[in-house]
């Protein structure tokens, strides 16, 4: 079996104080992940209600199908719900693996926890960049409209 090299100083340990901080932060991560699951459910309920409202207003006002903006809004909220659910799932997995690693002194769970945290942070960064780009495009479009 291959021996693993310790890439950090031998002085770096998870002592009782840092273990306590890790336990507390993973507990809060688990709580916020559960809240994230609930928020994701609200996104999907909103989309369902929004589509129901569009269908009802279409029949009342005898309009053809929903406009492009209405479809885009529905797709936006579905994507937001999916992304929020995925991030909450990764955060929940991180918290569970970290709690297991601390409880059982399990290196495999610790590695899995940090891998989940890495993926969570990567997706969070991509979403943040996309949101900044989206707001910049909206700002440019609004400024362009005002110039005419």
pLDDT for residue 88 is more than 70:
yes
Segment 111-135, tens digit of pLDDT: 999 999 999 999 999 999 999 999 9
Taken as a whole, the chain contains a residue count of: 148
- 98 vs 55 pLDDT, higher one: 98
| Predicted pLDDT of residue 115 | 95
Q: Who contacts 66 (Cβ-Cβ below 8 Å, separation ≥6)?
A: 54, 58, 74
pTM of the model: 0.77
pLDDT for residue 69 is more than 80:
no
| Predicted pLDDT of residue 148 | 57
| Predicted pLDDT of residue 59 | 64
Question: What Å distances lie between residue 39 and 43, 69, 73, 80, CA to CA?
Answer: 6, 24, 17, 10
């Amino acid at each position: 079996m291959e021996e693993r090299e310790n890439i950090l100083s031998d002085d770096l340990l998870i002592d009782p104080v840092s273990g306590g901080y890790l336990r507390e932060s993973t507990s809060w991560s688990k709580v916020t992940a559960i809240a994230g699951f609930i928020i994701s459910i609200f996104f999907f309920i909103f989309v369902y209600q929004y589509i129901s409202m569009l269908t009802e207003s279409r029949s009342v006002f005898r309009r053809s199908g929903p406009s492009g903006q209405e479809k885009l809004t529905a797709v936006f909220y579905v994507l937001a719900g999916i992304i929020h659910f995925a991030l909450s799932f990764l955060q929940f997995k991180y918290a569970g693996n970290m709690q297991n690693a601390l409880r059982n002194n399990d290196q495999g769970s610790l590695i899995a926890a940090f891998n989940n945290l890495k993926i969570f942070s990567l997706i969070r960064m991509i979403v943040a960049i996309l949101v900044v780009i989206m707001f910049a495009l909206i700002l440019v479009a609004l400024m362009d409209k005002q110039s005419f």
